[in-house]
Amino acid sequence: MVLRKRVTRVRARRKLTSRVRARVIPKRAPTPLNATGRTGEGFIIRAVAKSIVKLPAGVREPYEVFVNGVPQREGEDFQAKGRTLMFERELRKDKISKRRWLLGAWGVGTYKQDDSVDVRYEARDGSPRVAEGLEIEAG
C-alpha cells in the first residue's frame, strides 16, 4: 500500500515536469520592412557578414561562385564588394589534426563541416579558369 502511493506520487511529479518542459513560448511575428529598408519601429536591418572570402588577383567579372559544388546567386546567397565575397551564413574550413589524420588512415571517419568556395571566371586571354578552395575568414 505504501509503495503504491509512492509510485503514484512519482508519476504525478513526472507528468507535472513534462508539462512545464513542453510549454512552447510563442515567437513574435517579424515586422515587415517598408520601402526604405526600415521596420515599423524605425530600426534599420543590415546584413551581417558571417564569412568573408577574398578573390585572387586574376579573377575579374563576370564570374560564378560555388560553395561545395552548388552554384550561389549574388544578392541571395552572397554579396560582392570589391575583391571580397560576403556570405551571411557561416562557412568553415576544416583543419585536420594529427590525431584525426591517424584515425582516418585506419579507416575511422571523423566528419566536421568543411566548406569549399570555388570561383569560375575567364582569364584575360579568354580561357576558362577556376580558383579552388579559396580561404575563408570569419566576418
What is the DSSP annotation of 76-120?
Answer: TTEEEETTEEEESS--------HHHHHHHHTT---------EEEE
- What's residue 86's pLDDT? 92
pLDDT at 47: 52
The whole-number average pLDDT for the span 58-66 is 90
- Whole-number pLDDT of residue 35: 52
Q: What confidence tens digit (pLDDT) does each residue in 4-51 have?
A: 555 555 555 555 444 444 455 555 555 555 555 555 555 454 555 588
User: Could you tell me if 60 and 67 are in contact, meaning their C-beta atoms sit under 8 angstroms apart?
Assistant: no
Which residues are registered as beta bridge partners of 129?
121
At 93 the pLDDT is: 82
CB 37 within 8 A of CB 45: yes
Burial of 103 (0-12, 13-18, 19+ CB in 10 A): middle
Alpha-carbon span 102 to 106, nearest angstrom? 7
pLDDT for position 12: 53
Domains of the chain from N-terminus onward = 51-138 (2.60.40)
Per-residue model confidence as pLDDT tens digits over 72-113: 999 898 999 989 999 988 888 888 788 888 888 888 877 778
Helix, strand or coil for residue 12? helix
Q: Say what the pLDDT of residue 95 is.
A: 80
Residue 120 pLDDT exceeds 80: yes
Decide: 115 and 27 in contact? Cβ < 8 Å: no
Lowest mean pLDDT, pick from 38-42, 55-59, 127-131:
38-42
